[in-house]
Structure 1
Amino acid sequence: MKPHPTNTRADRIDALVLVVILLIVAGFAGAASFTHVKDWTLDNSPAGTGEWFGWANAVISELIPAAALLTIRRRRRTGGPIGYPMFLLVAAVTLSLAAQLAVAKPGLSGWLLSAVPALAFIGLSKLVLSTTPAPADNAPAGPVAQPAPAASAPVASAVSEPVALVPVEPARPVPVAPVPPAAFTRRNGTSLIGEVTR
């Protein structure tokens, strides 16, 4: 992807650093939240439930908000509705926050420390959604230049030889032969024009 023409080198470095920070924070927040959801699922599942169920719940609850966030961002660029993906994002973050609070040590500090991953994800979501996307590569940066008419200039040859222009005579009108009124008759044999009834 080509950088936008108005971006300076400092802007590109800032954007790269921001992406790296977002990826690191999202990775650690996702890992902590993933572990909390898995533990909460296994603690509240019937006896004999396989550990795979906890992993499945954790994967689902962590990938849905990521997919919803990407969908919201894409739909905002294209002007599409964001209601349903926003609902999925809020529901998944709420589930993750509930899991983190459920496995936390009882008390304000335990709940606060346990909620940090969900709060970090909410903060990242707000940061990503409020960032204005760069224009697409195929979007014109300025006014669109209209193509010149084909006959406005001679086409140069590939060898850069001079092109000889041949004058073209203007088109002459084709003479029209007069048609006698008797040529225009109806099917029943009566004339259409030329006869005046009095």
Structure 2
Amino acid sequence: MARFNQLRIEAAIRGDLEKEVRSQVRVVKQSITSGLRKGTYATRRDMRRQITRGKFRRGKSGAALGDTLIVKPTPRKGSSLTPEMRLFSVARYKAASGRRSQAIDLITIFSEGATIEATRGKLLAKPTEHAPMDSSGRRPATPSESGIPLVFIPSGDGGFLIDGRDKSDRPPILYVLFPRARISKRINQERAIAKGIEKIPEFIGQAWDKRAAKRGLV
């Protein structure tokens, strides 16, 4: 009988211990996931501040570049000992000549800089202050959107586009044309990521303290 009671006590202790361990593991998973998520969102806030300071022009859809920053967590719901958080920006555009739309990470381009070159013998067009606005009134129209009979004035490797209806001696230049353009680095992505990573241990500790205290683990 004493042996039976001892087995029951040992089983109860083992059951309580397993329950305690499971509870602690659950809190650890939640704390790690929460800390990583907060660190990632801190990185996104930093990059959005840089974009705001950089005064990026709003795109064709009217959405600011900062609004295109997306956080994709894995797992999507719940918690994990090895969670992943992906922070990226994807802008969709319809390429010329009927090609399929392509995904471009604009944040990477503005973080590293890039050279854009015109293809198929065409030229890039930069609107001047005299260029008409598009139908939304939020940005300058492209040459094809302008609805104006444009006249090409060659100059070096590029040229200019003027309003063909303007018969004055000095018609204003609507667009400047050139074969390539250099996009300078305007976002310090590495700094934002480093600052976010640096905060993750603190965020994990805060999450642990809050959850552990709630479950009576401390």
- TM above 0.5, yes or no, is no
Say which structure is richer in strand. Answer: 2
Structure 2 length normalisation: TM-score?
A: 0.24
Structure having greater relative contact order (Cα 8 Å, sep ≥ 6): 2
Higher radius of gyration, 1 or 2 = 1
TM superposition score normalised by structure 1: 0.25
